[in-house]
Every structure is written in structure tokens, then in C-alpha cells.
Structure 1
Amino acid sequence: MTETMRAIVLDGPGAPDALKIREVPRPVPEPGWVLIQVKAFGLNRSEFHFRTGMGSFGSFPRIPGIEATGVVLEAPGGEFAPGTQVAALMGGMGRTFDGGYAEYVVVPASSVIPFKSELDWATLGAVPEMLQTANGSLTVGVDAQPGSSLLIRGGTSSIGLALAVLAKRKGITVVSTTRNPAKTQTLFDAGADHVVIDAGSIAEEVRRIFSEGVGGAVELVGTNTLADTLKATAVHGTVCFTGMLSDQWTVKDFYPMDFIPNGVRLTAYSGEANDLPAEVLQEFLDAIADGQVSVPIAKVYAFDEIVQAHQDMEDGAVAGKLVVVV
């Protein structure tokens, strides 16, 4: 008899209530794949894109979810011992094969990162993709160095808040933006040294703080604010395009000579599981446990509250990471 599990299934693009909880067969791992009992999973903007049909990747019906944390049950290839605490992320999860919105998930061993922690599962569930993206944007994207300055455009997003935490740990001066003045204190609490209210154009105000411009910037809003972010950045500074909170992905009639200021560097970052070294994840979790770092969790939901969770994500109702505990 086939074992079953509860999973959140999307038959096709739709509103939050298109996410349906069903009993489905529990997946069975092949060699090279790992069966994980899911304890918690974070919500990500790309899952909103997938749910609404904005992304041109993946297929339906599908169990969404580009990340999950939990415990290894089986690894036929012997990559991980049963009982190992792990995070799984990216690699096609929730797009080309079923993802983390379930009681169990099977993923390629290459998408799995082991860790050891006594933190609660809600906290652990918030970290992997958020940390991977923030750490990669800071190190690979901007290559930010201690003593430099960093602009975080879209600071109240989970990645924006995690970026502030990581940047402060490296001794970087942080400028974070928000469209909502009521969220200013949230940014200061995360470690921002300066907060700029974003009405669409911030370059002038940033240059009042840093006359030469910031040494680096991470663009999390989208292409609609990218030109202005570039204008806020110093010569030989780097702007890393990482996020699209505005759901605007492309630059119409892109003319580089006009769009990019002289000497400012423009790059991008979108990472995979192997871009988050196990030691970086472990160090971050240990820092949380020691009270050195706080995780920007906005709200924790039960499995049955997935529709409300997606509605809150779509509405931008809260600042920080949304987590579902299974």
C-alpha cells in the first residue's frame, strides 16, 4: 500500500485560494535523491510569481516551494545519515519537481545542506533561501568589504533585513530604504545606520549622506528603481540586481551608455544551494543561538493557513520572512 502525505497543490495559476491541501502519495527517493520530513518552510516572492503564472518556468499540477528545512529520512546514495537536520533549496524545487509545501519532499542530494541546531523549526525554516540570497548578493554580487557603505533598496523585505544583519557583522555602513515611514524602526532594529523613505527617487538623498555615493548597492525592488539606484552609487561602486519586489524584471529599450553612470558596475545574483556553504549556514545559526543575530521573521503560520500566508505575501502586509510550520 502506498504511503500518503498532506501537501499543498497548485493545479494552475490563480489567487491564493488556488493553493489546495490534499492527500497525495508520499514520494520515494531514487539514488542521488534525499527524502526529507519537512518541519518548516519559508515563503518566497518567486513562489508568488509561480502561483500567479508570472514565471515562465515550471509545470502544473505542482507542489510549490523552493526551500524546506527538516530531517533526512532516507538517502539511498548514502550522502546523508537518517536523522540529519538539513535545509533544501532551489535546483528546480517547486517548479520542475515537487517542492517544500508538503509533509515530505524528495530533492537532489546537491540541493541539501546539513546543519546542527537546537533552534525552533520556525526560526530554522526562515533562514536558508533568505541567507543564501543575502550572503550571495553581499559577497559574490557586491563584494562588499569592511568599512565600505551599502545601499539596500527594498530594505523591509526578508532579504533586505538579512542583508542589513550580515553587512553590520562585516563592519559595513548600511543605508536601507522603505516606502512606508511606519517601518523605519524595523530597519534600524535590523542594523541600518540610515533609513531613506523611498518615493521612487532616492539618489539625491543618499548622496546627501554619502556625497560620493555608496560603495555598493543591492537592488531588491526591480528594474523600475534600478536607474536611480545606479545614480546613488559611487564611481567603481557595484550595484547587484537581486530582487523584483515590484514584479518588474526587464529594462525596456536598454541603452547602457545612458542607463549606467560612468564607472559604476552593474551585476546580478541568483544563487543555488551550492552558493550557500554549510559552514556559512552553521555559523549564522550559531550566531542566532548565541543572541548575536536576530532573524527577521514577520509571521509564522500553520500548514492549514497557507492561503492567508500567500495573501499576506501578495499584499506586502508585514516586514520580514513568512514561515509555515508543518
Structure 2
Amino acid sequence: MPDMMRAVVLDGPGAPDALKIRDVPRPVSKPGWVLIEVRAFGLNRSELHFRRGLGSFGSFPRIPGIEAAGVVVDAPGGEFTSGTQVAALMGGMGRTFDGGYAEYVSVPAASVIPFASTLDWPTLGAVPEMLQTAYGSLTVGVNAAPGSSLLIRGGTSSIGLALIVLAKRRGITVLATTRNANKTQALLDVGADHVIIDTGSIAEEVRTIFPDGVGGAVELVGAPTLRDTLRATAVHGTVCFTGMLSDEWTVPDFYPIEYIPSGVRLTAYTGEAEDLPQAVLQEFLDAVASGQVIVPIGKVYSLEGIVQAHQDMEDGSVTGKLVVTVGGRTDAPSAHSEEGNVNE
């Protein structure tokens, strides 16, 4: 009989209570893949979309989860040493093969990024996908330069908060939006220079701060606000479409000449693990450990709390990244042993 593990299984689209914790066979090691003991994972809205049956790919039944943080159990191809701390993300995780909502996950070696840190597991679990998306949007998507200005449409999302942190470290002036005035301080606390209450039409207010428009923008709300974000952006500025907090993905009757202001650039970002260099992940974790950077964690749950976690994500009741710990492990990893195991 195969070794068993606890995992969250989704038999088909449904409400948060469609997520069921079950005992299932533990993944087996195979060449080119890495078997990881999961210690924590962050929640992402793409998992909410998948749970609802939205999106263009994936199959059921499935263990969801597009990211995980933990330690290597086995890498038959020799890509990583047993005990190495790693983040795993994207590449089909939780969609076309089982993902991180489990005690163990097996993922392609290309989806794995090693790191070394003594931060606690909730913090480590919060970082990978949040950092990858924020870093990719800022660099690949907008190509934001030090000294420029950046509008973050949807600033209180976990990606928005991470974008603020990364942009400020690059010397960028940040304007961040929220629909809830009570969340203004949360944006200021992580470094936003200007907070704008999002009424759905903010371009005019943005231009009271930057009359020529902002140099760049990251659109996290989605199709309903994209046109207004474009109008808040300067000629030769870039708007990167990254998120769909509104759950509206497409622009009806899109006529580019009428929709996009002259000279404003519209791009998009959907990243993979290779878009997050190991050095960038390690530098970010080191900056967190030294107190230079804040990881915007909203709430931490146990695996048994996955239904409530998804409900909170759906309701938008928590500001910051939602994180689930696995096996009760919230402690900080210890120093490396001789075998490179940083957790035992």
C-alpha cells in the first residue's frame, strides 16, 4: 500500500466548501521532478477562479495550489539535495497536475527555486508567487525605472502590496488605489506615496498629482478599470495588465484606436518560475530577515482552515496575503546541517 498524505481535493467546481481534506497516496519520486514536503503555501485568486470552474485549462479531480514552500525530499535527477529549502510555483501546478494544497507535492524541476532562510514558514510561504508576479509586472511588464512614477490599481491585494514594496526599493513614486478608505493606512504603512480612493474613475485625480500622467501602471482590478488606468498614464508610459480582482477578464467590443490613448503602451504579464531569478528571491528574503522589507501577510490558517481561507479570499475581508501552514509547522528553520537540511 502506498504511503498516504493529507491533501485538499477538489472534485469539481463549487463554493469554498467544495474543498475537501482527504487521505490520498503520496506522490512518488520520478526523474526530472522534485518531491517536496510542503511546510506552507500562499493562496492566490487564480485558485479561486479554478475552484469556480473559470479559466481555460485544468482538470478535476485535482489537488489545487499554484505554489508551495518547503524542503526537498527527493530529486532523482540530482537537481537538488535532500533537505534544501525550496519554493515551487506555476508550470501547471494545481491545474494540470496536483498542486501545493497538500503535505507533499511533486513538481517539475524547472518550477523549483532554492533558497536559504531562517524566516518562519508562514512568511516563506507568503512570498514566492506574490514576489514572482509583482517582480515580473514591475520589470517585464512595465520596465519601471528608478525615479519614475507607478500607479498600482488594486493596491491592497497581496500583489499590490508587494509591488509597493518592490517599487519603493527602486526609488519609484507610488500611487496606490483602494475602494475602501479604511485601508488607506495599510497602503501608507508599506510605503505608498499617494493613496487614491477608487471610484472607478480616477484618471483625473491621478493627473492632479502628475499632470502629464504616471510613467507606468499595473492593472490588478481587471477589465472594468483598464480604460481609466490607460487614461491616467503618460504618453510613452506603459500599463501592464496583470490581475483580475473584479473577475472580469475581457474587454467587450475592443477597438484599440478608440480604447488606447495615443502613445500609451498596453502590455500584459503572466509569469512562470523562471521569471523569478534565485538571486531576486534570496535578496528579498534576506531583506525581510534584516527588517528592511515587510511581507504583507493578512492571515495564517491551518490546512483544516482551507474552506474559511477561500471564503475570506472570496469576500476580500482580509488585507494582505493569505497563507496556509501544513503539519503545524510555523517555526523558523534552523541553520544548515551537514546534509544541507535547514529544517530538521
TM range (shorter): over 0.9
Are 2:108 and 1:119 aligned?
no
Equivalent runs, 1:1-326 vs 2, <5 Å: 1-326=1-326
Q: Distance in 2 between matches of 1:29 and 1:268?
A: 36
Partner residue of 2:340?
none
Q: Which runs of 4+ in 1 moved over 3 A?
A: none
Q: Distance in 2 between matches of 1:213 and 1:170?
A: 20
Q: Distance in 2 between matches of 1:142 and 1:27?
A: 39
Matching residue's letter, 1:38: V
SS in structure 2 at match of 1:196: strand
Q: Structure 1: which 5+ runs fail to align?
A: none
Deviation at 1:5, TM superposition (A): 0.1
Matching residue's letter, 2:47: E
Q: Distance in 2 between matches of 1:192 and 1:310?
A: 27
Q: Distance in 1 between matches of 2:270 and 2:280?
A: 17
Deviation sequence 1:91-118 (CA, Å, 0-9, x none): 0000000000000000000000000000
SS in structure 2 at match of 1:9: strand
Q: Structure 2: which 5+ runs fail to align?
A: 327-344
SS in structure 2 at match of 1:50: helix
RMSD, aligned CA = 0.4
SS in structure 2 at match of 1:140: helix
% identity of equivalent residues: 80
Q: Distance in 2 between matches of 1:41 and 1:167?
A: 24
Deviation sequence 1:220-240 (CA, Å, 0-9, x none): 000110000000000000000
Deviation sequence 1:269-310 (CA, Å, 0-9, x none): 010000000000000000000000000000000110000000
SS in structure 2 at match of 1:116: coil
Matching residue's letter, 1:151: L
Deviation at 1:29, TM superposition (A): 2.0
Matching residue's letter, 1:101: Y
Deviation at 1:57, TM superposition (A): 1.0
Matching residue's letter, 1:189: D
Matching residue's letter, 1:172: I
